[in-house]
Amino acid sequence: MKHEKQNPRERILDSAFHLFRDQGYAETGISEILTEAGAYKKSLYDHFTSKEDLAVEYLASLTHSHADLIERVAATSEDLERFTDRWVDLVRRSLKNSKRQDCPIGLFAGEVASIPEMRPHVLETIDRLIQTMQRSVQQILPLPDTEAENLARRVFVAFQGGMRLFYLTGEERYLTLMRDELKYIARSVPVVKS
């Protein structure tokens, strides 16, 4: 990793993010983060109180980038089926560039959800992503809030289920089934005429 122009906080975050993504939370130690960052323990504690603080930052960063991606895909989709196609194509491309073949948020949140300090952050992440999906759905299709929220939750469940099964088996068919289920969900929404 390049560190020439980054301050210690940024180097520590970059290293933690990289290691959490590649190895997982439990397999990543503070010493390893500091070594990769070229930083000292004092630098860590000048900015963070614990490994959990780094995990909170990582989860927030993942959530922000994922929400941004959902919004960008929705902004260029004329209907929910097109949104589904673009979303799953994006997922497939990103999986080719990743060591850990799963949704980064689902994988990481699953690892840290049992840590009492992390649980509220995991729940906040889920809420934020569902709200983002709800707004994105409403951008494509004018639905009442309750219907859009229900649809967003169904999409989230189908997406996480498909990603988890792909991760567990390595079988591409689960990504295809995920796309099919997401399209089924999209087709189940009544067309609203303006």
pLDDT band at 103 (very low <50, low <70, confident <90, very high): confident
Q: Are 54 and 48 in contact (CB under 8 A)?
A: yes
pLDDT band at 3 (very low <50, low <70, confident <90, very high): low
Mean pLDDT of the 96-117 span? 86
- Closest among 187, 192, 123, 121 to 155, alpha carbons compared: 187
- Closest among 17, 1, 3, 7 to 47, alpha carbons compared: 7
Whether the per-residue pLDDT at 194 is higher than 80: the answer is no
Give the C-alpha separation, 119 to 123, whole Å. 6
pLDDT tens for 116-147 read 999 999 999 999 999 999 999 999 999 999 99
> Could you give all domains of the chain from N- to C-terminal order, each with its CATH number?
1-48 (1.10.10.60), 50-187 (1.10.357.10)
What tokens appear for 56 in the block?
């909170």
pLDDT recorded at residue 1: 53
pTM, full prediction:
0.86
Phi/psi at 113 (nearest 5 deg)? Answer: -60, -25
Whether the per-residue pLDDT at 72 is higher than 80: the answer is yes
What is the chain's mean pLDDT, rounded? Answer: 91
Whether the per-residue pLDDT at 191 is higher than 80: the answer is no
Whether the per-residue pLDDT at 2 is higher than 60: the answer is no
